[in-house]
Amino acid sequence: MSETFNKIKLWYQNHSSSKITFERKGIKPTRDWSIVIFSSLIILLGLGSLAFYFYHQVENGTFFTAVVSEELTEVKINNKVLDRLIADINNREKNLNEIETNKNFPPNPSL
């Protein structure tokens, strides 16, 4: 009977121990931190190389390329529309000058 009691007691102590151990059930902080640090370094190196690539492409002028057209096209100006636009601008200037010279102020609403 005491042998069975000792087995039960030993089993209970093994499963309900209050000591904290990280070696149990696959919890290994050193391995986890190694993975985090290694992954961070890989990402950092990848982003650094990508930034260097973009810098190199922009510095050489190959990243932003513009298509240069050799053909010169003649620009046609619609004189009627241009005259109307100039007349409209002159009318606005005349109206602004009239407003500035008349200076009609509305009455004070707080009185």
Mean pLDDT of 3-19: 74
pLDDT in tens, 47-104: 999 999 999 999 988 887 777 777 778 888 999 999 999 999 999 999 888 888 887 7
Whether residue 12 contacts residue 5, with contact meaning beta carbons closer than 8 Å, is answered with no
Percent of the chain with pLDDT over 90: 39
Whether residue 15 contacts residue 24, with contact meaning beta carbons closer than 8 Å, is answered with no
CA distance 111 to 98: 28
pLDDT in tens, 36-46: 999 999 999 99
Measured in degrees and rounded to the nearest 5, phi and psi for residue 51 equal -65, -40
Q: Is the pTM of this model over 0.85?
A: no
pLDDT, residue 56, reads: 93
